[in-house]
Structure formats: C-alpha cells, structure tokens
Amino acid sequence: MSDYEIRVANKGDEPFLWQMLYFASHMYEQEGALPESLRTDPDLFYYVEGWTERPGDLGVIAISSDGLPAGAAWIRVMPPKNLLSCYCEPGIPELVIATTPQHRGQGIGTLMLRDVLEAAYPQHSAIVLSVRANNPALRLYQSFGFATVARLTNRVGTESVVMRIELGAGRNLPP
C-alpha cells in the first residue's frame, strides 16, 4: 500500500472518473459496451457529468509509484429520481469507488475509502452505495461500518446490495 499516494480529486480528473465509472458500473462486462456510452446512459452519467460543479462533490485519486492514476473514490449527491433515492433522504451522497484492473487487490480501495469518509464527515451525515452481492468489496464496506439496507435487482439483472454508513462524532475508521 505504501506505493500509492492519495490526493484530492479535482475538475481535471473528470476523464479518469469516467474510466473508473466504467469499471465500477461493471459496464466492461457487457458485450459491445464502450466507455463512451456512459455519457449517455441515463442511469450512470450523473455520477461524473460536470464533476466539481455540484455542492458536496468530493473524491480522491490513488496515484501509483509510476505517477499514473490507479483508482478513484468519490461521493456525489444524486438527483431525486436516482435509483438509490428511495433508500435515503435528499442530500445523502452516493459513493463510487474503483481501481484500474492492474491495481486491484493492492489495498488502495481501503486507503481511498478511509480518506473519502474522513473528508465527507464535516459535510454529510451519511453515505449510501450499491455493490454487487458477489463483489469481494462488500466485506471492505462492512469493515468500515456500512450496513445493508436493501437488496435489489440491478440494471443488468443480477443482485446488488444497497449499503449505508452513518457519519458522526466519535466514529472510528478501521486502521
């Protein structure tokens, strides 16, 4: 894990966030789906479009020892009609997190998640996320205190878990 630097995401990171959304949404698993199709997908484009232009946008980028981006984690308040809006009150942001395929399993998800949660605490009371039920990251989210609030059929017909974490004073994050 020491081979990675975590820095705050900025407007210039928007192209990389689109790449990470491609992985986070598992769109790469769909035959013929191209990263560019995210920009017109009504369920997905809100996660990145106009990054830093909405109140509450915050995120981090993991930079590998070769100086290239290796992953991203960000939160964003989504529009009222978003898929997870029925699981949280207005203003609760949704988390997106992904790493490039060659950097998976290196522990940078833990580093990024910790930094995003610490940065979110002063601004937000809670965060929600959706993760595929068979994704190993589910255990990471549980270790940080995310709790399952629902199960749903996702846009590709498999099961996803909706999770939520309450942010508050005295909250201890895992080491």
pLDDT of residue 79: 74
pLDDT of residue 157: 76
Residue type, 102: Q
Helix, strand, or coil here: 110? helix
Contacts (Cβ under 8 Å, ≥6 apart) of 6: 60, 61, 62, 63, 108, 111, 112, 115
CA distance 60 to 171: 20
Give bridge partners of residue 153 from the DSSP assignment.
Answer: 159
pLDDT of residue 13: 97
pLDDT of residue 1: 46
User: Can you list the domains of the chain with their CATH numbers?
Assistant: 5-166 (3.40.630.30)
Helix, strand, or coil here: 16? helix
The predicted-structure confidence for 15-45, as pLDDT tens digits, reads as follows 999 999 999 887 766 676 777 777 778 778 8
Q: What is the pTM of this model?
A: 0.89
Contacts (Cβ under 8 Å, ≥6 apart) of 95: 73, 74, 75, 113, 116, 127, 128, 129
Q: Specify the DSSP element, H or E, that contains 116.
A: helix 108-120
Give ∠ CA 101-68-1 in degrees, rounded to 5: 65
* pLDDT by residue, tens only, the chain of 175 residues: 458 999 999 999 999 999 999 998 877 666 767 777 777 787 788 889 999 998 889 999 999 999 999 999 999 988 776 656 666 677 889 999 999 999 999 999 999 999 999 999 888 889 999 998 988 899 999 999 999 998 887 777 778 899 999 987 555 566 5
pLDDT of residue 85: 60
